[in-house]
A and B are shown apart, each in its own frame.
Chain A
Amino acid sequence: MWLRARVCAVRDETPDIRTLTVDVDGWLGHRPGQHVDVRLTAADGYQTQRSYSIASAPEAGRLELTVERLDDGEVSSWLAGEARDGDAFELRGPIGGYFVWDVTMAGPVQLVAGGSGVAPLLSMVRHRVAAAGDQPMRLLYSARSLNDVVAHDELVDLAARDSGFELVLTLTREQPPGWSGHARRVDAALVAEALWGPETEAVTYVCGPTRFVESVASALIGLGYRADSIKTERFGPTGTP
């Protein structure tokens, strides 16, 4: 069922990524990790739709979608470019019960993000804070440069004041002067170095471009993680269908 959504705020996260706060008529809430389908209809009736992850915690009053502008993305170029306060569009969701984590799930949890794939993982991070979850959580986040890190200050602050949350950044293209963090793509060696071992029985959520997710998932399997402890969300080059 398609619901009517209205943009109530727009915030630039990075040069290419924007967060839209939306009001949705009849919204019933979501679980961290779920996504929505957005449908746009042109004046001539042409319709196009794409999936976007929810970045806000369920506890937040309003829904936030964090969207990367893609060169060939009809929907993303509108959402992350032209959409303004008060603009309306259609939305369906929340969708998906597989790539979902909440504080009722026991044990340590690791999140691995490639670029804007951090969006559904941010919902999990924010939910853990809002619901006072005590599960150890680690986020390994790969971005091109420091300017491309979504919610950078929020994540750094959280890691500084919450001993249960760890942030590991890797900047693949450009590093600021004096950068002491990782500076390479997430490969098997970095997965082994930056994540917990399989003996911790951690559950790992991986989200990003298809090739990124594939390489991280293969590395985890190679390190001895059970396949059913790894949950993946590939978003392909133009977002999900």
Chain B
Amino acid sequence: MNDRTLDGNALGGLLDDVFAFEITTARCTCDGCGAVRVVGALRVYADAPGVVVRCPDCDDVVLRFVREDGNNRVWLDMRGVRVLQIRSAG
């Protein structure tokens, strides 16, 4: 935790064109500790070359995200996501 930490809510726009669903309300099971949290409640660190998302309970890396300048390529590392539970809009 430092004064540049953000909430998972900040991921909405960044991941908007990656996922077909609303990512901030999906429920994520952390692979490190098994805690289940809404993505909007995860910790986001956006000052790295990419964006790093950590579990607020155990601090493990849940997800990393890098977008190439010009938006041509995206790297999405979801090593810390054991389960993503998505509620469909319908």
Give the interface of A toward B (CB within 8 A): 1, 35-37, 51, 92-93, 95-99, 209-211, 214, 227-228, 231-237, 240-241
Contacts and interface: CB of A to CB of B under 8 A. Distances in A.
Interface residues of B, number: 25
B5 A234 contact: yes
B46 interface: yes
B46 A232 contact: no
B3 A211 contact: yes
Given A96-B40, A98-B41, A209 B9 contact: no
Interface of B: 1-10, 12-14, 16-17, 22, 24-25, 38-41, 44, 46, 51
B68 to A, nearest CB: 13
A197 B51 CA distance: 36
A51 B40 contact: no
Interface of B is mostly: mixed
B24 A96 contact: yes
B21 to A, nearest CB: 10
A37 to B, nearest CB: 4
A98 B16 contact: no
B43 to A, nearest CB: 9
Contacts of A214: 1, 5
A97 B24 contact: yes
Determine chain A's interface SS by DSSP, over half rule: mixed
Given A35-B12, A210-B2, A210-B4, 19 more contacts: A35-B13, A92-B16, A98-B25, A98-B39, A99-B40, A210-B6, A214-B1, A232-B41, A233-B7, A234-B6, A234-B7, A236-B4, A236-B5, A236-B6, A236-B46, A237-B4, A240-B10, A241-B6, A241-B46
Given A99-B40, A234-B6, A240-B46, A37 B13 contact: yes
Contacts of B14: 241
Contact of A95 (B2, B7, B13, B39): B13
